[in-house]
A and B are shown apart, each in its own frame.
Chain A
Amino acid sequence: MTQQKKTIASGLSEADAIERAKQGDAESFAGLYALHKRRVYSLCLRMTGNTAEAEDLTQEAFLQLYRKIVTFRGESAFSTWLHRLAVNVVLMRLRKKGLPEVSLEESLEPQQEDGPRKDIGARDNMLAGSIDRLNLERAIESLPPGYRIIFVLHDIEGYEHNEIAEMMGCSIGNSKSQLHKARMKLRDLLKPSRAERAAKRA
């Protein structure tokens, strides 16, 4: 008993915690949760924009993790595996709710406002130096769900287009094009309006 405790306390790595969790060790489960809860929750929150749903999805993701942990063989980093699993949990939920992701091509065809800018030829104030975290988070939250998901996956979570295409069931080109529209939409959302600029100057 003492020996076992020593082993745990003297330097249990994530890999050790995973192996112990496979055996049903409660503290290792708790340890893995503590290590990854913030990033998983943040992913769910950004993808859904809803606190209660994000918590629910975090719970579901970790429950699935623990149910599937025996199948984790270390082919990829554990965090990569877990986050992929969490993304799938979120996408599954969105599918059930009928939100766009698989039929991206049809449902998110460029709308007029998302096409090439109408004000081509007119320079506008540039964004550099003007974005703070809260503004950006808020703008991301107000993106249409399809755009938001791809932006979060690619620009925040660091997934490649081929991975996103696989997860979302769309083409790589479509993923690129949706990401671009998301960024363009964010640019519009983050540009201060003329009225705001005038108010700041006043």
Chain B
Amino acid sequence: MIGLGKRGEGVMNCAEFQKVLPYIIETGGNTEEERHLRECLVCSDLVEDLKYIVEQAKLLVPMEDPSPRVWEEIKASLEREGRIKRARLKGRLLGPIPWIGALGAIILVAFAAFLVERGRQQQASASVENTTPPLQTISLNTVPTEQDDEQLLQQVAASRPSSASAYQSNLDQVNASIADAKRTLEQNPDDEDARQSLIRAYQQKALLYELAAQ
């Protein structure tokens, strides 16, 4: 009877298989273990379930931010320790959610989250053995291309069709604002306001990627 392998010469039973399972599930077993898995529906169901759990666990991207109070506490501690200078003069706004101060980093954090999510979705059907942590593989020196924008829109269209047109029009708007600010900055490289506008435009694009990835 399948599922109740008989103990005996050269035949592995379920209890024996499940005893070695922790050690072979990620590497594959020997011939005998593989044969038991092929022939036993109970154990193959079990292995499928465990693989499914592993796949689902990989889809658990970080969803929540800590309270803004956490950063306030950190900042206060760092100031007390003299590791950072106290907040600047009024008029210079660091912001409640820390202003990142870096164009590249701003856009990339959201873009990385987007890629991670996409990468994980693509891996959802991969086997247990193929467990690559995607975050480390992302280049932190890339900015989204037109192709990435297209993929973002496709992802939104698939997951939240009613939001697709809003993402399309707002992405167009953000890209236009980036082009606007870049043009002005090229004409006048010392225009600090245009530079700030460009940073903010990238921040807005980052927001779109971040919201799309949720």
The residues of A with any CB-CB pair to B shorter than 8 Å are: 2, 5-6, 8-14, 16-17, 24-31, 33-35, 37-39, 41-43, 45-46, 54-55, 58-59, 62-63, 66-67, 77, 79-80, 116-117, 120-124, 126-128, 131, 133, 136-137, 140, 151, 155-158, 173, 176-177, 179-181, 183-184, 186-187, 190
Given A26-B85, A39-B135, A46-B60, 5 further pairs, Cβ under 8 A: A27-B100, A29-B78, A34-B98, A59-B73, A176-B22
The answer on a CB contact under 8 Å between B102 and A179 is no
Contact sample, A vs B, 26 pairs, CB 8 Å cutoff: A9-B101, A9-B102, A9-B198, A10-B103, A11-B102, A12-B104, A24-B84, A27-B101, A30-B71, A30-B98, A34-B100, A37-B70, A45-B64, A55-B67, A55-B69, A59-B74, A63-B74, A116-B15, A121-B1, A126-B49, A128-B49, A131-B53, A177-B23, A180-B25, A187-B49, A187-B50
Q: State A95–B57 Cα separation when bound (angstroms).
A: 26
Please, which residue of chain B has its CB at the minimum distance from the CB of A177?
B22
**How long is the Cα–Cα vector from A187 to B58 in the complex, in angstroms?**
16
Q: Are B25 and A120 in contact (CB under 8 A)?
A: no
Q: What is the total number of residues of chain B having a CB less than 8 Å from a CB of chain A?
A: 73
List the 7 closest A-B pairs by CB distance, nearest first: A30-B98, A12-B102, A180-B22, A158-B133, A42-B62, A27-B101, A31-B100
Contact yes or no, B105 A17, CB < 8 A: yes
Q: B42 touching A41 by the CB < 8 A rule?
A: no
Across the two chains, which residue of chain A brings its CB closest to B77? A63
Partner of B57, one of A16, A37, A62, A136: A136
Is A24 in contact with B23, judged by CB distance below 8 angstroms? no
Q: Is the CB of B102 within 8 A of A151?
A: no
Contact of B192 among A5, A27, A62, A137 (CB under 8 A): A5
Q: In the bound complex, what is the Cα–Cα distance between A136 and B57 (angstroms)?
A: 8
- The B interface is mostly helix, strand or loop, or mixed, namely helix
Residue of A25, A27, A67, A157 ringed by the most chain B CB atoms within 10 A:
A27
With contacts A34-B109, A151-B57 taken as known, whether A11 is within 8 angstroms of B104 at the C-beta atoms is yes
A35 touches B109 (CB 8 A): yes
Cβ of B199 within 8 Å of any chain A Cβ, yes or no, is yes
- Contact with B59, one of A12, A14, A133 (Cβ below 8 angstroms): A133
Q: Is the CB of A38 within 8 A of B104?
A: no
Q: Are A186 and B135 in contact (CB under 8 A)?
A: no
With A116-B18, A120-B14, A121-B3 in contact, do A186 and B53 touch (Cβ < 8 Å)?
Answer: yes
- Chain B residues within CB distance 8 Å of chain A: 1, 3-4, 14-15, 18-19, 21-23, 25, 41-42, 45-46, 48-50, 52-54, 56-60, 62-67, 69-71, 73-75, 77-78, 81, 83-85, 87-88, 94, 97-105, 108-109, 113, 131-133, 135-136, 140-141, 189-190, 192, 195-196, 198-199
Q: With a CB–CB cut-off of 8 A, which chain A residues contact B21? A: 180
A41 vs B198: C-alpha distance when bound (angstroms): 30
Give the Cβ gap from B178 to chain A, nearest Cβ, in Å. 14
Q: Judging by beta carbons under 8 Å apart, are A12 and B103 in contact?
A: yes
